Amino acid sequence: MQSRLMGSIEEGKSPSSPFRPNPTPALARLLPLRLVQVILMCFIMGLGISLISLHAMKFLSMKYFAPVEPFIIQSCYQDALSIESLVRPSAELSHSMNDTELLWRASIHPRVKEYPFKRVPKVAFMFLTKGPLPLAPFWEKFFEGGPSEHYSIYIHSHPAYVANFTPSSVFYKRQIPSRPADWGRMSMCEAERRLLGNALLDFSNEWFVLLSEACIPLQNFTVVYFYLSRSNYSFMSSYDDLGPCGRGRYDRNMEPEVTLDQWRKGSQWFEINRRLAINIVADVTFYPKFRDFCVPACYVDEHYFPTMLTIQLPHLLANRTLTWTDWSRGGAHPATFGKEDITEEFLKKILESETCTYNDQQVSLCFLFARKFAPSALEPLLELAPKVLGF
């Protein structure tokens, strides 16, 4: 039995056994050859489809997109390298920069004084508000008299407040990213630095006016622009008050950066040129001193900027403000004027209240703005403005 089984195996016959022999060598060679053929066929078909697709895409691109694509590429390339694209302000004031990033970016300035592009100097009107602008219609009338390329507007309000200006308003989408500001504390000066920082991002802004929601213009736009653009000085009130509300607020911890004889007081509401604005946003020397050692009853917004700029660039300051305010009633806050106060005689009295120096000459035009005005003052102001204020 065993011999017959062995003989069958040697002759290549299938034995009548449950066990089957391995495939023959010929079959073993055939299977890998078929596999290689299938793989090769798939590769050739894939290569052919790819070549046909590339040819079709090239044909369609030449036929339908050739006139457009080079223009798009060229346009993007030129815009990325043009000076206009680098200095053009963003239409949107929103951004994701924090204060540190914003002030760093705003402090960058060209050292070449000649601008290599057409630059129309603008006035940046910066409104520091709690929320709404109740006197906005009055300001709208004021801005109607000025070309839009001569001014820009920035609003710093409480971050929870959402303005509802219509698209036709000059105040539409002019809110900057903001944080809460408390009266008399460093957060108020931080808000002012934030306004300056955002305004400095526009290279065309040359003069910066700080205003509140209770401020009004006293002159038409043409007069305001001429007055600011022709002045040799910036209008930051700065004086040495020897009393308890001046030197009495000084802290010896301010030394050596600020000494007692350098300590100054002034109005919060200022107008400064671009050079001084950059000095304010770039300051890292005086800021920590005032933050830590000028706290109520030292009201930092009355001392920080006047002291710093008097130390740095006193020859550029007119040492007076352009915003008229009535302190005659006493107290920590100036008088507020409502509907009953607004008469032709009242406005003329403000305009003719005093004389002052302008470019080292005596003049009668001293104030361009005034405060504080209640929302109820809007109607009589709109009625009297054409006759008394010229807009």
pTM of the model: 0.79
The confidence band for 47, taking pLDDT boundaries of 50, 70 and 90, is confident
User: Are the C-beta atoms of 5 and 15 separated by less than 8 Å?
Assistant: yes
Task: Count the Cβ atoms, other than its own, within 10 Å of residue 31.
Answer: 10
Q: Are strands 205-212 and 122-128 parallel, antiparallel or unpaired?
A: parallel
Q: What is the pLDDT of residue 12?
A: 44
What average pLDDT does this structure show over 254-279? 97
The confidence band for 72, taking pLDDT boundaries of 50, 70 and 90, is very low
Rounded to whole angstroms, how far apart are CA atoms 222 and 229?
A: 11
User: Are the C-beta atoms of 352 and 316 separated by less than 8 Å?
Assistant: no
Does 10 score more than 60 pLDDT?
no
90 CB-contact burial (10 Å; exposed 0-12 / middle 13-18 / buried 19+): exposed
Q: What is the pLDDT of residue 45?
A: 76
Q: What is the pLDDT of residue 86?
A: 78
Q: Summarize pLDDT for 154-171 with one digit per residue, the tens.
A: 999 999 999 999 999 999
Q: What is the pLDDT of residue 31?
A: 56
* Higher pLDDT among residues 67 and 373, named by residue: 373
User: How distant, in Å, are the alpha carbons of 31, 122, 330, 340, 385 from that of 147?
Assistant: 86, 10, 40, 33, 19
Name the most confidently modeled range: 25-39, 63-77, 150-164: 150-164
The confidence band for 353, taking pLDDT boundaries of 50, 70 and 90, is confident
What average pLDDT does this structure show over 66-94? 62
What average pLDDT does this structure show over 330-339? 88
Provide the β-strand partners of residue 126.
154, 210
Does 19 score more than 60 pLDDT?
no
The confidence band for 103, taking pLDDT boundaries of 50, 70 and 90, is very high
Per the prediction, the chain carries an average pLDDT of 87
Q: Summarize pLDDT for 362-376 with one digit per residue, the tens.
A: 999 999 999 999 999
Sorted by sequence, the CB contacts under 8 Å of residue 37 that are 6+ apart come out as: none
Least trusted range by pLDDT, from 10-24, 83-97, 186-200, 259-273: 10-24
The confidence band for 39, taking pLDDT boundaries of 50, 70 and 90, is confident
Q: What is the pLDDT of residue 75?
A: 43
Separation of first and last alpha carbons in the chain: 128
User: Are the C-beta atoms of 339 and 359 separated by less than 8 Å?
Assistant: no
Residue 322, classed as helix, strand or coil, is coil
Q: Summarize pLDDT for 132-157 with one digit per residue, the tens.
A: 999 999 999 999 989 999 999 999 99
Asked whether the bond before 306 is cis by omega within 30 degrees of 0, the reply is no
Task: Count the Cβ atoms, other than its own, within 10 Å of residue 222.
Answer: 14
Asked whether the bond before 13 is cis by omega within 30 degrees of 0, the reply is no
Phi, psi of 158 (to 5 degrees): -60, 135
Look up tokens 């006293």; give the residue: 218
Note the helical H segments in the chain: 2-10, 25-60, 69-81, 83-87, 99-106, 136-144, 186-200, 221-230, 274-282, 287-293, 304-312, 344-351, 378-384
Rounded to whole angstroms, how far apart are CA atoms 208 and 276?
A: 10
Q: What is the pLDDT of residue 199?
A: 98
What is the percent of the chain with per-residue pLDDT over 70, rounded to a whole number? Answer: 82
Domain made up of 83-326: CATH architecture: Alpha-Beta Complex (3.90)
Q: Residue 326 gets which letter from DSSP? A: -
Q: What is the pLDDT of residue 106?
A: 97
The confidence band for 3, taking pLDDT boundaries of 50, 70 and 90, is very low
Q: What is the pLDDT of residue 113?
A: 84
What average pLDDT does this structure show over 256-273? 97
What average pLDDT does this structure show over 345-351? 95
User: Are the C-beta atoms of 277 and 201 separated by less than 8 Å?
Assistant: no
Helix (H) or strand (E) holding 207: strand 205-212
What average pLDDT does this structure show over 177-186? 95
Rounded to whole angstroms, how far apart are CA atoms 152 and 124?
A: 5
Q: Summarize pLDDT for 213-237 with one digit per residue, the tens.
A: 999 999 999 999 999 999 999 999 9
